[in-house]
């Protein structure tokens, strides 16, 4: 068979050839019968028609109906992607890799040839790749090197309902790319028409018939002998080489019914609903609130196994650690099952799972065995598992989002939305009547948010703007947001980034800004971390930022206040909260994380666990960007506080003669919060991480600093304590 001419590499496309699905199959196609049974198969022609007639299409279909795996294949088989490749974006890496692997099998091509994937640090694609699954983040990276994404003819935005910061940024960028390419085609068409008019006039005949208006109304041009109506050749400005311009088709795929919003945003895109097959699911709620959902899931799964009919169990948990804990509990219990009872097969499913293990969840269970799948929310809509009849919903997930305290991404366990709970329920009814056990009360369900709030409205806006700038968006005020943040908030974010020297006078990203964008952190903390390289205290800074991401590191039961205070006194640093936290972590590490020790010292063990997770993640990013996380300052802890001033000079206050503190910016009177170790103390200057307003203005997360550190730390913003005039940031 003939290999296609590298469509994902830039260049001239091959001329159109008649449709022949098997022409690229180099290994046997698989799962043909299964494909034809998917609900989406019946909608094949309607989908093909819609995407030929419209520049943008929204397709809504029940999870498992075949959107992600089939729609790109329909396009391939009908040979619609004549001028470039097909990209399918996924919010999660594990979905991108596992789906590409499956589709390669179905198409009958070795993975990385005609069908491939690209995720960070793992690229299984080649010049012959025509269909590529990739994460949102990777597509954003490709835009940096190929601003109009010339290599793609189709972009499928999958899991659009998740509305992560990255997908929202992508939406806006793709919309603009689509418009630019359309305009370029039109311009070429006009040019071509004018040229023909002149030619014809010279030859003495009348003007040519206007190129037939197609739905997409794009340039007509002769390509490889055939007439194309949706592409035009143009001269690329950069190198003078002819470059092929063609329309970018955008397909938005979603499992939920909020299609109108997406359609309105993408210039009134056509909406298609694909009817799914869904059996009824009986929902049960807990009668009492559960204190430990992991334990509740353990008990409930065994109860289902011993008392209920056949069918696999799917348990939704928040992450790898939980999954491994429950896996161990169930494995230990397996030995205790009665001899005559059916066996259980435990299958974990989370992002970091090796591919061979991932395959296990798709294979049917051996005879007389029930599969128990322990999954994160990737099993909610991204990956459909066969055979599930029972769903255990813990009601929580690790939200991809920003922790409001230090802005770190995707680490906090949070309640899901009602819409997520319904998706989870739906997983039980794909093949037969199913059962869903919600391990929370009906009241808790009623209290859940209807939909999760788009990340751009939840996260720290300075972090979002930094990501936009890093993605190459120059004018963030005029950017076409699906949910636009208030203008004033955007301006404030720009100002903050400028003051941190992440942006220069013209509003462009600086080298430091580019570096900061690598970190899933509130930019203030990213700046602190950056400073730690020069001041050689990266270990300490990572430790403290991790601890600050937790709400309450110390527990103080009401009736044991005094004991708790006394215990806390052991860790107190005279310089304030930051170094106190560091002392606490060192003490915890010295006893190797002993739970009893936590109990005796009124330390929140779960909080520290969370902090250690954040710490692990930060250390990984540091290593990745070439910064050694093990550089420590030893006992010279002044440097640690100096680093904090580098990111928080705008959150500092000076002692006044009357013993109060006045903030350096805004000149407000602030008080040190009673929970701070510096409560009631008088220091020359302080820095704080949080400003809270209760009855008065309090500051929390407070440390003592030297007043002269403040102007030194903020060249772009403060001159002797005064804000510099505001820069022009809007372009």
Token pair belonging to 512: 């430091």
What is d(CA 465, CA 513) in angstroms, rounded to the nearest whole number?
11
For residues 284 and 436, the answer to whether their CB atoms sit within 8 Å is yes
**Phi, psi values for residue 324, rounded to 5°:** -70, -35
69 interface partner picked from Mg ion, ligand ADP, none, CB below 5 to 8 A per type: ligand ADP
- Minimum Å gap between C-beta 81 and ligand ADP is 18
- Minimum Å gap between C-beta 192 and ligand ADP is 40
The residue (of 384 and 663) whose beta carbon lies closer to Mg ion is: 384
Interface region with Mg ion, contact rule CB under 5 A, candidates 61-69, 101-109, 387-395, 501-509: 61-69
- Minimum Å gap between C-beta 99 and ligand ADP is 6
**Phi, psi values for residue 334, rounded to 5°:** -55, -40
Q: Which residue has the tokens 């705008």?
A: 650
- Minimum Å gap between C-beta 71 and ligand ADP is 8
- Minimum Å gap between C-beta 278 and ligand ADP is 12
Whose CA is closest to 434, among 443, 422, 448? 422
Cα dihedral value 127, 130, 131, 132, nearest 10: 20
The residue (of 38 and 503) whose beta carbon lies closer to ligand ADP is: 38
419 interface partner picked from Mg ion, ligand ADP, none, CB below 5 to 8 A per type: none
- Minimum Å gap between C-beta 55 and Mg ion is 22
Which residue's CB atom is positioned nearest to Mg ion? 68
362 interface partner picked from Mg ion, ligand ADP, none, CB below 5 to 8 A per type: ligand ADP
- Minimum Å gap between C-beta 456 and ligand ADP is 24
371 interface partner picked from Mg ion, ligand ADP, none, CB below 5 to 8 A per type: none
41 interface partner picked from ligand ADP, Mg ion, none, CB below 5 to 8 A per type: none
Whose CA is closest to 93, among 123, 66, 67? 123
The residue (of 386 and 723) whose beta carbon lies closer to ligand ADP is: 386
- Minimum Å gap between C-beta 642 and Mg ion is 49
The residue (of 103 and 471) whose beta carbon lies closer to ligand ADP is: 103
The residue (of 178 and 381) whose beta carbon lies closer to Mg ion is: 381
For residues 61 and 273, the answer to whether their CB atoms sit within 8 Å is yes
The residue (of 67 and 615) whose beta carbon lies closer to Mg ion is: 67
Residues 6 or more apart from 399 whose CB is under 8 A from it? 410, 412, 413, 414, 452
Token pair belonging to 538: 């990266």
290 interface partner picked from ligand ADP, Mg ion, none, CB below 5 to 8 A per type: none
- Minimum Å gap between C-beta 69 and ligand ADP is 3
Interface region with Mg ion, contact rule CB under 5 A, candidates 59-67, 191-199, 539-547, 578-586: 59-67
Q: Of these, 54, 56, 65, 68, which contacts Mg ion (CB under 5 A)? A: 68
The residue (of 372 and 598) whose beta carbon lies closer to ligand ADP is: 372
Look at residue 700 and give its three-state secondary structure.
strand
Residues 6 or more apart from 315 whose CB is under 8 A from it? 297, 301, 326, 372, 373, 374, 375, 391, 392, 394
Could you tell me the CA-to-CA distances from 591 to 390, 540, 545, 547, 596 in Å, in that order?
Answer: 42, 19, 21, 17, 10
For residues 351 and 91, the answer to whether their CB atoms sit within 8 Å is no
The residue (of 68 and 663) whose beta carbon lies closer to Mg ion is: 68
The residue (of 114 and 182) whose beta carbon lies closer to ligand ADP is: 114
* Paired sense of beta strands 652-655 and 434-441, if any: unpaired
Could you tell me the CA-to-CA distances from 73 to 105, 153, 510 in Å, in that order?
Answer: 12, 14, 42
420 interface partner picked from Mg ion, ligand ADP, none, CB below 5 to 8 A per type: none
Could you tell me the CA-to-CA distances from 218 to 53, 427, 704 in Å, in that order?
Answer: 12, 43, 65
Contacts to ligand ADP by CB under 6 A: 38, 61, 63-70, 98-99, 102, 362, 384, 386
What is d(CA 242, CA 165) in angstroms, rounded to the nearest whole number?
35
- Minimum Å gap between C-beta 387 and ligand ADP is 9
137 interface partner picked from Mg ion, ligand ADP, none, CB below 5 to 8 A per type: none
102 interface partner picked from Mg ion, ligand ADP, none, CB below 5 to 8 A per type: ligand ADP
161 interface partner picked from Mg ion, ligand ADP, none, CB below 5 to 8 A per type: none
Interface region with Mg ion, contact rule CB under 5 A, candidates 64-72, 181-189, 391-399, 554-562: 64-72
The residue (of 218 and 252) whose beta carbon lies closer to ligand ADP is: 252
> Could you say which DSSP state residue 130 is in?
-
For residues 259 and 58, the answer to whether their CB atoms sit within 8 Å is yes
The residue (of 384 and 496) whose beta carbon lies closer to ligand ADP is: 384
Token pair belonging to 82: 């004549």
For residues 678 and 703, the answer to whether their CB atoms sit within 8 Å is yes
How many C-alpha atoms does 482 have within 13 Å on its Cβ side? 31
703 interface partner picked from ligand ADP, Mg ion, none, CB below 5 to 8 A per type: none
Interface positions, 259-288, toward Mg ion (CB under 5 A): none
Q: Is residue 70 near Mg ion by the rule CB under 5 A?
A: no
For residues 71 and 251, the answer to whether their CB atoms sit within 8 Å is yes
The residue (of 316 and 402) whose beta carbon lies closer to ligand ADP is: 316
The residue (of 184 and 253) whose beta carbon lies closer to ligand ADP is: 253
Look at residue 649 and give its three-state secondary structure.
coil
Q: How many residues bind Mg ion (CB under 5 A)?
A: 2
Residues within the interface to Mg ion (CB under 5 A)? 67-68
């Amino acid at each position: 068979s003939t290999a296609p001419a590298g469509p994902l590499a830039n260049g001239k496309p091959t001329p159109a050839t008649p449709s022949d699905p098997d022409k690229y199959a180099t290994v046997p196609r698989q799962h043909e019968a299964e494909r034809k049974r998917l609900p989406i198969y019946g909608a094949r022609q309607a989908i093909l028609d819609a995407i030929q007639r419209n520049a943008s299409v929204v397709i809504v279909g029940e999870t498992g109906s075949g959107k992600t795996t089939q729609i790109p294949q329909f396009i391939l088989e009908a040979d619609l992607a004549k001028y470039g490749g097909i990209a399918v974006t996924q919010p999660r890496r594990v979905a991108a890799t596992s789906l590409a692997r499956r589709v390669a099998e179905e198409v009958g091509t070795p993975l990385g040839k005609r069908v491939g994937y690209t995720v960070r640090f793992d690229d299984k694609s080649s010049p012959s790749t025509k269909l590529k699954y990739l994460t949102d983040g990777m597509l954003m990276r490709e835009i940096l090197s190929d601003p109009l994404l010339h290599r793609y003819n189709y972009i499928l935005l999958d899991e659009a309902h998740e509305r992560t910061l990255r997908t929202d940024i992508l939406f806006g960028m793709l919309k603009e790319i689509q418009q630019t390419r359309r305009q370029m085609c039109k311009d070429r068409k006009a040019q071509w028409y004018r040229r023909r008019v002149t030619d014809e006039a010279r030859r003495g005949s009348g003007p040519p018939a206007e190129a037939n208006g197609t739905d997409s109304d794009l340039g007509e041009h002769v390509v490889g002998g055939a007439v194309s109506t949706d592409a035009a050749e143009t001269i690329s400005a950069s190198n003078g080489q002819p470059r092929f311009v063609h329309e970018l088709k955008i397909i938005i795929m979603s499992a939920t019914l909020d299609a109108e919003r997406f359609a309105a945003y993408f210039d009134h895109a056509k909406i298609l609903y694909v009817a799914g097959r869904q059996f009824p699911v009986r929902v049960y709620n807990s009668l009492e609130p559960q204190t430990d959902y992991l334990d509740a899931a353990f008990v409930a799964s065994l109860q289902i196994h011993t008392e209920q009919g056949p069918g696999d169990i799917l348990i939704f948990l928040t992450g790898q650690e939980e999954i491994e804990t429950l896996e161990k509990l169930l494995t230990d219990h397996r030995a205790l099952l009665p001899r005559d009872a059916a066996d259980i097969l435990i299958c974990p499913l989370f992002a970091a799972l090796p591919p061979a293990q991932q395959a296990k969840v798709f294979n049917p269970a051996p005879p007389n065995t029930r599969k128990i799948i322990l999954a994160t929310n990737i099993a909610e809509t991204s990956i459909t598992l066969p055979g599930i009849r029972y769903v255990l919903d813990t009601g929580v997930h690790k939200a991809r989002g920003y922790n409001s305290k230090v802005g770190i991404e995707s680490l906090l366990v949070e309640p899901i939305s009602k819409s997520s709970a319904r998706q989870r329920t739906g997983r039980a009814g794909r093949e037969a009547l199913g059962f869903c056990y919600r391990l929370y009360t009906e009241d808790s369900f009623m209290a859940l948010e209807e939909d999760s709030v788009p990340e751009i409205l939840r996260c720290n806006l300075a972090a979002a703007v930094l990501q936009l700038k890093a993605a190459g968006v120059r004018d963030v005020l005029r950017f076409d947001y699906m949910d636009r943040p208030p203008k004033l908030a955007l301006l404030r974010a720009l100002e903050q980034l400028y003051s941190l020297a992440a942006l220069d006078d013209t509003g462009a990203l600086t080298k430091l800004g580019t570096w900061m964008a690598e970190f899933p952190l509130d930019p203030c903390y990213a700046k602190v971390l950056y400073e730690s390289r020069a001041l050689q205290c990266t270990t300490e800074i990572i430790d403290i930022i991790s601890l600050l991401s937790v709400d309450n590191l110390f527990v103080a039961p009401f009736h044991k206040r005094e004991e708790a205070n006394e215990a806390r006194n052991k860790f107190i640093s005279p310089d304030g909260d930051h170094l106190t936290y560091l002392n606490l972590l060192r003490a915890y590490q010295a006893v190797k994380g002993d739970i009893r020790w936590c109990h005796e010292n009124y330390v929140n063990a779960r909080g520290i666990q969370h902090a250690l997770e954040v710490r692990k993640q930060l250390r990984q990013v540091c290593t990745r960007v070439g910064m050694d996380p093990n550089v420590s300052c030893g006992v010279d802890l002044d440097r640690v506080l100096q680093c904090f001033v580098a990111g928080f000079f705008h959150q500092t206050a000076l002692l006044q003669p009357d013993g109060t503190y006045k903030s350096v910016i805004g000149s407000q009177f602030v008080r040190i919060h009673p929970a701070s170790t510096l409560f009631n103390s008088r220091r020359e200057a302080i820095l704080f991480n949080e400003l809270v307003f209760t009855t008065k203005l309090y500051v929390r997360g407070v440390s003592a600093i030297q007043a002269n550190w403040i102007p030194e730390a903020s060249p772009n913003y403060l001159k002797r304590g005064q804000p510099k005039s505001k820069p022009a940031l809007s372009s």
